[in-house]
Structure 1
């Protein structure tokens, strides 16, 4: 019996001397408990998790110096050297916050992103191309977002009191020249590029990154699809034409080729037109896209290269009435050829280096004939870009980039062989730093510099933005910056030495996403300076000056809800813009015709599974367009009636690989007027006769059948609608 007690006492003493009890509490830098922390000895299975109060306790048989590891989501891992000597250790662990890009604050001031990778998405790519009333046009869908204005006789993107020329468009980071189809005056145009080419977009209504320049109001950056999901063929049969797209995919590469033909003559022969067409618009386009990826991100080296080529041609002939003339008016004949190509790359290197850039070239040629006067206009843009990004830590990264532009423009009166032209070389450098103070506070500061050989000018534009995330899911952002843009080609070709126009932006934004509901409110103030003014005698510009100025101020709201109504997704926007500027031939500060004060839209999409259908409707409106009436004193002293357009659409899937899509704009047949044109001379009574500028037809109806040919019978073209 004594032997038994001796052995028991021995083992009890051994256990007491060999075991070390480790306990303590885990907190953040403010002393708040961090529950659920993983606390363990490195290289062993000894450990535990902290409780709701941050406390922890466990025992280990290890001895000597050990490394205690503490990990928690949202915090930097912390290692502490401890001495395991069979005694009790009481520890207080303070963790520092780490930057988790999935939960960290992001800059939202002036930004409207559409990409599946972004957590603060407002619109995804599919949303952009399924918006009723947009008729598959990227720009048409963006006009339902806050900060934009619908200008029905133009069709381009007008942002916060700015002209359409103040918005630059980029594909895979490279600028696009003449992104909209050529057209006659007061005949709306469309974006040249198919919506199914892109996987996402970044649409800035102001205060955008130093990476983008030569735009006073906005930057629209479009990102093309990386690798398609599958090989497939897509047939499109439409009421205005048709096309075919073939996609071939491999593990690391893909090829897509497409061709389309459009002719509005059959449609316009059935639907009465207010336009006097001699030759209805007819066009064709084709494009090829090549994509290849290499390497593996796991080994620190991975890359992607894309090559894209697009070419098209179109023609039309239209008669446009002259105010006060009883005849058909001016005969406008237009022939256009356009090509755009780019090669872009992205490469992840070792030691947290990342590189991207590429080359792009745009060529646009318009053969225009007004009555008996032929004119040829040629516009060319070459863009080369290289950017290096270095992540120095999880908190700090720095972006540096160089760009080179060659811009050439010419106008030739072919009957008398008279030409005027210019070529401008522009060199730009930009640098931008991003610093995360915490998961809740981020700051971005950048500067962009440039030089124009034609203007003989050097400039520098600083930009700054900051965002603060609140305790709940909302956040505030502020952005400010200066922006420069050289005047339009038609003005620079007449006065080569014109220098940059300027704008200064201030933006305050609130943004929240919660439970499939998004709310965004933003106020802005934009100051214009050095705008071009001139005398305009029947379209002949003279006496150029850069003493113009102006402002645009206001606020806009966006609400999107995919939760409240089952199977329904809707968003509502409202924008107030107070804009005045002294520019062009205006002698005083005026409200531009393209900047209605009040703008709004409602978009609704409902998927009825029993009907295998997606039903959509959209309503866009504004408070009317100002215009100058020469029968009254002053400038821009009148305004049209309110603009309103109610559109509907229906997409029916009888089979997953077949889609029938029909849509109709302005179903109520509202007679929208965008302004008036007046005679250059008064009549016998001393009055100037005017004609309204309106729509080509009260409604536009569209029908299409999309068929997908692939091994996967569930594949379709829903992204193309």
Structure 2
């Protein structure tokens, strides 16, 4: 009897349960319409579900009734939901498409014309540590960047020249704010340096063309430097160098930090020990004070302040070609200040906010024998921007900025001055569309207006990148770039319009673990370049009539993996550049644009000796110049430039670093051009003077000591 009762309830309940079940069947596809295996498909809030098969098909039963939520989930794809009604029987669902999730780890990135280095990016090109340990750079940011593709070394200048463009065509930014007069003032072919210490920065973005719509007023390149966030400890850093010394003190807590730095340099003692090829009456000297502060705000924002003031000068006898005497005495004094503050915050619903203000002031007092001159350049910059991530596939950047630019130059002895005041307003927007995990499209637009020239302009920009393999991708970038003429031209002809350049760049980037390979082809056209009659020193009849082009190939290879404790990179750039500009009536190869540029940097750490040895070698095929003893313009070329530099960094104690370096070890007499007399001599020959480097070699020795509770801390911790 008991057996019959059990059998009765079993068959009764089986029928009841079968009646209350719903069978769900369907198929999951990817964006290409192919079956997607391994997708978890289940009823939300229940244990009913399954995993899709090899063709993306699935089938399972559920006892849930009424309206339910069906969930589709798989790593690397956006989780999605669909409402269904369960009432018994079988429900055959339509094919369901899952969309790939785009992340920094698996998404393609725009790489055409761009080289980025920061802790957040996989593509690390040059970090601050790379900059200070590159032998030929001697701690200068631009000196290290000159070992990268697309750049040219112009040894008598020291500024950054990119792909056939003049140094004035490179825009330099700190935390998104434009830096006025970023290089120290110099005279008489004495090379200059950037004013800012690489220890300030956590990362760099260096674009050799086709850069973001966020940046403007640069025909060739944008260099964006990002300062550090909060410092991690209280410490003092003392530096003693062959050219001067300095001290930096940092105070830090969990929510704020402050760093004060002071430096002084004077080449007079060095000049007495190792004479330079320049005839200095007073060798270059100067001092600087710097403040950097960061504070985390209660609402999650970050506030930064950076301020710097400095002063320096030199007295130099400028020898004239064909003259036996010391020449004209140039007495240069420079006074410079820069300050900026910025606020950033990652807000709700995918918004990121930024606001900043910056001001720079540069005053040059230059005496040529008895003639006194002054140049004053002031730039104020206001900026606000926002980024909105609508999804993992669509992102928008929008911003406005305003510049107030005043420039004046004059002869104070006779109360003569000419100046200009220009208000420039800009609007920019940029959109990223991730069409798939392998394909991204970027479109940008930058609009500008100048009150001085009464000119409006619109610069469209476009980029596209496609991921060919897990490690390789192809990028294309194109766009229009505008730049107002340099100050000394605008102050003479205030109605000058923008100069313009169009960029087209094709890029291939391959990145493996510790290995980077980059190849890029580019073409740039120039319109509206400034031409004039007369000479560079006394231009007349300035006008926007010049034009030209630059085209070429870049290659970059870096290997940090194959040789133990060794990091090296190799760079080659070919640039074919011609332009009609300044006093030239025909299209010529500019004197600052060598056709072939090659560099190798090698760094090897010897663990038993606690030392890093470095070597860098650079060469190019020479610089074009005009010899008036022969017909034509830019009719001669100097011998090729070569520079072999070595360095040694030694850590006898964790908090003590000794660094030594020497440039141009082989003592090659590099020549960058020639100065010629304005009139021929009695034999009908224009006499010349070679424009060379300051000395056959430059030697540097520095001792860097860190003072902190953590005896293992050193300046490398900041890099």
Give the TM-score normalised by structure 1.
Answer: 0.95
> RMSD in angstroms over aligned alpha carbons?
2.1
3-state DSSP class of the match of 1:503?
A: strand
More divergent stretch after superposition (662-671 vs 28-37): 28-37
Q: How many residues are matched?
A: 716
Could you give the per-residue CA deviations for residues 249-276 of structure 1, whole angstroms, max 9, x where no partner exists? 2222111111111111112211131111
Q: Distance in 2 between matches of 1:530 and 1:51?
A: 63
3-state DSSP class of the match of 1:140?
A: helix
Q: Select the residue among 74, 82, 89 that pairs with 1:72.
A: 74
The answer for unaligned runs of 5 or more in structure 1 is 296-300
- Note the C-alpha offset of 1:9: 4.6
The equivalent of 2:422 in structure 1 is 424
The equivalent of 2:216 in structure 1 is 213
Q: Select the residue among 164, 167, 176 that pairs with 1:164.
A: 167
The answer for unaligned runs of 5 or more in structure 2 is none
Q: Select the residue among 627, 645, 649 that pairs with 1:647.
A: 645
Could you give the per-residue CA deviations for residues 46-69 of structure 1, whole angstroms, max 9, x where no partner exists? 445556665666665545443221
Q: Select the residue among 428, 435, 438 that pairs with 2:436.
A: 438
Could you give the per-residue CA deviations for residues 621-676 of structure 1, whole angstroms, max 9, x where no partner exists? 11110111111111111111111111111211222222111111111111111111
Q: Give runs of aligned pairs for residues 148-187 of structure 1, distance below 5 A.
A: 148-187=151-190
Checking the alignment, whether the CA contact within 8 Å between 1:21 and 1:86 is kept in structure 2 is: yes
The equivalent of 1:504 in structure 2 is 502
Q: Distance in 1 between matches of 2:679 and 2:505?
A: 45
Q: Distance in 2 between matches of 1:385 and 1:469?
A: 34
Checking the alignment, whether the CA contact within 8 Å between 1:115 and 1:125 is kept in structure 2 is: no
Are the structure 2 counterparts of residues 26 and 608 from structure 1 closer, same or farther at C-alpha, using a change threshold of 3 Å? farther
Are the structure 2 counterparts of residues 26 and 516 from structure 1 closer, same or farther at C-alpha, using a change threshold of 3 Å? farther
- Note the C-alpha offset of 1:39: 3.1
The equivalent of 1:284 in structure 2 is 287
Give the TM-score normalised by structure 2.
Answer: 0.95
3-state DSSP class of the match of 2:533?
A: strand
Q: Give runs of aligned pairs for residues 11-160 of structure 1, distance below 5 A.
A: 25-47=27-49, 49-50=51-52, 54=56, 62-82=64-84, 93-160=96-163
Q: Distance in 2 between matches of 1:64 and 1:582?
A: 78
Q: Give runs of aligned pairs for residues 453-472 of structure 1, distance below 5 A.
A: 453-472=451-470
Checking the alignment, whether the CA contact within 8 Å between 2:536 and 2:583 is kept in structure 1 is: no
Checking the alignment, whether the CA contact within 8 Å between 2:560 and 2:567 is kept in structure 1 is: yes
Checking the alignment, whether the CA contact within 8 Å between 2:535 and 2:583 is kept in structure 1 is: no
Could you give the per-residue CA deviations for residues 594-625 of structure 1, whole angstroms, max 9, x where no partner exists? 00000111111222222222221111111110
The equivalent of 1:252 in structure 2 is 255
Are the structure 2 counterparts of residues 566 and 50 from structure 1 closer, same or farther at C-alpha, using a change threshold of 3 Å? farther
Q: Distance in 2 between matches of 1:634 and 1:115?
A: 48
2:634 pairs with 1:636 = yes
More divergent stretch after superposition (3-12 vs 417-426): 3-12
- Note the C-alpha offset of 1:309: 0.5
The equivalent of 1:401 in structure 2 is 399
Q: Distance in 2 between matches of 1:218 and 1:164?
A: 9
Q: Distance in 1 between matches of 2:174 and 2:320?
A: 40
Q: Distance in 1 between matches of 2:230 and 2:254?
A: 9
Are the structure 2 counterparts of residues 359 and 53 from structure 1 closer, same or farther at C-alpha, using a change threshold of 3 Å? same
Checking the alignment, whether the CA contact within 8 Å between 2:536 and 2:582 is kept in structure 1 is: no
Are the structure 2 counterparts of residues 15 and 565 from structure 1 closer, same or farther at C-alpha, using a change threshold of 3 Å? farther
3-state DSSP class of the match of 2:562?
A: coil
- Note the C-alpha offset of 1:206: 0.9
Could you give the per-residue CA deviations for residues 265-320 of structure 1, whole angstroms, max 9, x where no partner exists? 1122111311111111111111111211224xxxxx63111111100011111112
Q: Distance in 2 between matches of 1:256 and 1:43?
A: 54
More divergent stretch after superposition (461-470 vs 579-588): 461-470
2:317 pairs with 1:319 = yes
More divergent stretch after superposition (49-58 vs 183-192): 49-58
Checking the alignment, whether the CA contact within 8 Å between 1:260 and 1:284 is kept in structure 2 is: yes
Q: Distance in 2 between matches of 1:7 and 1:168?
A: 84
- Note the C-alpha offset of 1:485: 1.1
3-state DSSP class of the match of 1:438?
A: coil
Q: Give runs of aligned pairs for residues 563-578 of structure 1, distance below 5 A.
A: 563-578=561-576
Q: Distance in 2 between matches of 1:537 and 1:96?
A: 63
Are the structure 2 counterparts of residues 357 and 4 from structure 1 closer, same or farther at C-alpha, using a change threshold of 3 Å? closer
Q: Select the residue among 361, 366, 370 that pairs with 2:368.
A: 370
3-state DSSP class of the match of 1:285?
A: strand
Checking the alignment, whether the CA contact within 8 Å between 1:234 and 1:706 is kept in structure 2 is: yes
Q: Distance in 2 between matches of 1:226 and 1:653?
A: 27
Could you give the per-residue CA deviations for residues 53-98 of structure 1, whole angstroms, max 9, x where no partner exists? 6566666554544322121223221213345567677765431223
Could you give the per-residue CA deviations for residues 343-363 of structure 1, whole angstroms, max 9, x where no partner exists? 111123333222212111000
Checking the alignment, whether the CA contact within 8 Å between 1:337 and 1:366 is kept in structure 2 is: yes
